[in-house]
Amino acid sequence: MKKRYYIVLFTFLFLISCNSSSEKKETTTTEKKADTMVVTPVKMLKAAGLILPVVDSLRDSSAYCCVVTPESGFIVYDKPNGKAIGTVKREIDESDNQSPYVLYLISGTNKEKIETEAFKEIGYDLFAINYSETADGYVRVFDSSKNYWLKVAEINHKGFKAIDWMEHLLKERDLVLGYYANEPGLKLRKEPNSNSEVISTIRGDLFEIKLSEKVSGQWCKVIITKYKEHPCETELKESENKVDTKEGWLKIIDDNGEPNIWSYSKGC
What local confidence, expressed as pLDDT, does residue 266 receive?
81
Q: Rounded distance, CA 199 to CA 72, Å?
A: 50
Going from the N-terminus, what domains does the chain have, and what CATH number goes with each? 49-164 (no CATH), 180-262 (2.30.30)
What local confidence, expressed as pLDDT, does residue 101 receive?
87
Query: What is the tens place of the pLDDT at every residue in 143-191?
Result: 777 899 999 999 999 999 999 999 999 999 998 989 999 999 999 999 9
DSSP 127-172: EEEEEEEEETTEEEES-TTS--EEEHHHHHHTTEEEEEHHHHHHHH
At 195, is the secondary structure helix, strand, or coil? Answer: coil
At 211, is the secondary structure helix, strand, or coil? Answer: strand
**Which residue type sits at 144?**
S
What local confidence, expressed as pLDDT, does residue 44 receive?
46
Question: What is the DSSP secondary structure assignment for residue 45, as one 8-state letter?
Answer: B
Q: Rounded distance, CA 189 to CA 196, Å?
A: 6
Query: What is the tens place of the pLDDT at every residue in 77-94?
Result: 999 999 999 999 988 888
Contact status, residue 164 vs residue 49, Cβ threshold 8 Å: yes
Cα of 62 vs its chain's centroid, Å: 26
Q: What is the mean pLDDT of residues 110-125?
A: 87
